[in-house]
């Protein structure tokens, strides 16, 4: 009934919809599962108190990540438009200023800026698939593994090639549309990703160092827990769910009324967390079995792991599997970053979907070139004391993401009609008062704390 009403009230152009709840869950999980899960989460856990960090992180997901995820979907679904128009129209309907559209502006801008450097890193993953397949890792020692990575960063031609390939792949998928591109890709890549991960965890169990990895990831060490650890956990809960960049809002705009937002969000959060933990159980047994340093931080994947792959039997296959896994995770996130920009262009300009995708893709690609040059030719070009890559990262993760996330949660909690929200979430009176407390106070305060302390 309400779906028919919404459609009747919809504007002349037909707005796409996911073909099923499962398709939506896979697409949203594809967005959530990215470099953050495979590359960042494992080393964060290892460095920040193991099981203690995991517990804090789970609390952050429940109290802040999940409510903001639901809020973004709810706003997107109610608006059925690109994030900027959605915010503007919902605000007008609620009798508030259309200035709320700025939340959409900052989200779409964040998505655009993040994709430009995310694609550069996606390119690294592709480059390492090729290196793995051509036996470059064989017999690699620490020095040569380091040189391989810094050599890649120092070569603008090769970075450009891989960035271009990754961006072309992203544009090709997004141009095929919401169901034919985004959903179909997620349905293909996410199960494959899960299978690859399972096989790698299975290999980890045979190394003899699986228990050491379990210990490293899960044994709580509260002495490592500082205020910084809380802030890192909160920031990561935000990033890993793709919040604050209009991505989930755009995905919500293709959602029908029949999907239960709370239970779907719970599913996506659980899948995202399980995959992040599994990534740790794939990586650390290999690291420990080869006597390598688990705390290598950012270099863990691109420097430490290739050393291991180069020395173990079947290392070539394992390496190909691992970097394909990383590439798939990056692709399903990259397409979700392009989507809000494309949705905006599609609805606000005369461009067709394909033309909008190519236009957005070229603009992102061009900015990505500035990002990749900051590892080599432009490494001395500093703006506000940062190279372009770091500037893009800082501007988005420290400013745009928290501000967008805060805007969305405050709008949902304070501006949307209370009864309709309660009905939409299917909550009891008690459940709704918990929801209200979380979305009005706990989550916003959490975001503000991270925002302020990161400055
Ligand atoms: N959630 C992704 C990750 O954990 C990152 C991402 C950010 C994806 C923004 C899409 C949009 O890596």
Contact 162, 127 (CB under 8 A): yes
Atom 6 of ligand 1, residue of closest alpha carbon: 242
Q: Looking at residue 6, what is its pLDDT?
A: 45
Task: Determine the average pLDDT of the residues in 258-275.
Answer: 97
Burial 135-150 (b: 16+ CB within 10 A, else e): ebbeebeeebbbebbe
Say yes or no: CB of residue 341 within 6 Å of ligand 1.
Answer: no
Task: Determine the average pLDDT of the residues in 116-126.
Answer: 96
The CA distances from residue 28 to 144, 160, 275, 378, in Å, are 38, 29, 14, 36
Q: Which of 46-60, 161-175, 265-279 has the lowest mean pLDDT?
A: 46-60
Say yes or no: CB of residue 336 within 6 Å of ligand 1.
Answer: yes
Helices (H), 142-260: 142-153, 156-175, 184-206, 210-218, 227-240, 247-252
Q: Which of 51-60, 64-73, 292-301, 430-439 has the lowest mean pLDDT?
A: 292-301
Say yes or no: CB of residue 282 within 6 Å of ligand 1.
Answer: no
Task: Determine the average pLDDT of the residues in 220-228.
Answer: 88
Q: Looking at residue 431, what is its pLDDT?
A: 97
Chain mean pLDDT for the chain: 93
Q: Looking at residue 14, what is its pLDDT?
A: 64
Say yes or no: CB of residue 401 within 6 Å of ligand 1.
Answer: no
pLDDT reading at 2 higher than 50: no
Q: Looking at residue 4, what is its pLDDT?
A: 45
Q: State which ligand 1 atom lies nearest to the alpha carbon of 41.
A: 4
CA of 321 to the centre of ligand 1 (A): 21
356 falls in which pLDDT band (50, 70, 90)? very high
Q: Looking at residue 232, what is its pLDDT?
A: 85
234 falls in which pLDDT band (50, 70, 90)? confident
- Look at domain 21-454 and name its CATH class: mainly alpha
Spans of all domains in the chain: 21-454
Q: Looking at residue 1, what is its pLDDT?
A: 39
Say yes or no: CB of residue 333 within 6 Å of ligand 1.
Answer: yes
Q: What is the DSSP string of 29-58?
A: HHHHSSHIIIIIHHHHHHHTTTHHHHHHHH
pLDDT reading at 5 higher than 50: no
Task: Determine the average pLDDT of the residues in 31-52.
Answer: 90
Contact 163, 369 (CB under 8 A): yes
CA of 95 to the centre of ligand 1 (A): 33
pLDDT reading at 141 higher than 50: yes
Element (H, E) at 392: helix 388-394
455 falls in which pLDDT band (50, 70, 90)? confident
Q: Looking at residue 451, what is its pLDDT?
A: 85
Q: Looking at residue 8, what is its pLDDT?
A: 42
Say yes or no: CB of residue 247 within 6 Å of ligand 1.
Answer: yes
């Amino acid at each position: 009934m309400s779906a028919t009403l919404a459609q009747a009230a919809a504007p002349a152009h037909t707005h796409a919809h996911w073909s099923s709840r499962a398709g939506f869950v896979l697409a949203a999980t594809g967005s959530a599962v990215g470099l953050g899960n495979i590359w960042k989460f494992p080393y964060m856990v290892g460095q920040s108190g193991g099981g203690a960090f995991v517990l804090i992180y789970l609390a952050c997901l429940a109290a802040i990540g999940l409510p903001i995820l639901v809020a973004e979907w709810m706003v997107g679904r109610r608006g059925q438009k690109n994030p900027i128009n959605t915010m503007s129209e919902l605000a007008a309907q609620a009798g508030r200023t259309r200035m709320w559209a700025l939340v959409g502006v900052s989200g779409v801008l964040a998505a655009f800026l993040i994709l430009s450097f995310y694609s550069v890193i996606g390119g690294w993953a592709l480059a390492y698939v090729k290196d793995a397949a051509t036996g470059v890792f064989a017999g690699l020692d620490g020095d040569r593994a380091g040189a391989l990575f810094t050599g890649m960063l120092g070569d603008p031609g090769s970075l450009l090639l891989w960035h271009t390939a990754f961006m072309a792949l992203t544009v090709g998928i997004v141009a095929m549309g919401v169901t034919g591109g985004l959903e179909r890709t997620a349905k293909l890549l996410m199960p494959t990703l899960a299978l690859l991960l399972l096989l790698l965890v299975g290999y980890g169990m045979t190394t003899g160092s699986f228990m050491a990895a379990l210990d490293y990831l899960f044994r709580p060490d509260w002495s490592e827990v500082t205020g910084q650890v809380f802030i890192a956990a909160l920031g990561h809960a935000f990033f890993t769910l793709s919040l604050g960049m209009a991505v989930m809002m755009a995905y919500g705009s293709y959602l029908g009324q029949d999907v239960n937002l709370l239970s779907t969000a719970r599913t996506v959060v659980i899948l995202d967390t399980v995959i992040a933990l599994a990534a740790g159980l794939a990586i650390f047994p290999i690291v420990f079995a080869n006597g390598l340093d688990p705390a290598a931080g950012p270099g863990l994947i691109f420097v430490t792991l290739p050393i291991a792959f180069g020395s173990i039997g079947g290392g070539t296959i394992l390496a190909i599997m691992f970097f394909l896994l990383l590439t798939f995770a990056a692709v399903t996130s990259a397409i979700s970053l392009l989507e809000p920009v494309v949705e905006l262009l599609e609805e606000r300009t005369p461009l067709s979907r394909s033309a909008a995708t190519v236009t957005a893709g070229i603009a992102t690609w061009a900015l990505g070139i500035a990002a990749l040059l900051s590892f080599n030719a432009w490494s001395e070009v500093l703006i506000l004391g940062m190279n372009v890559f770091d500037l893009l990262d800082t501007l988005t993760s420290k400013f745009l993401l928290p501000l967008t996330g805060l805007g969305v949660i405050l709008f949902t909690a304070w501006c949307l009609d209370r009864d309709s929200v309660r009905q939409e979430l299917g909550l009891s009176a008690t459940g709704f008062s918990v929801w209200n407390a979380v979305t009005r106070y706990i989550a916003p305060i959490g975001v503000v704390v991270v925002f302020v302390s990161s400055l």
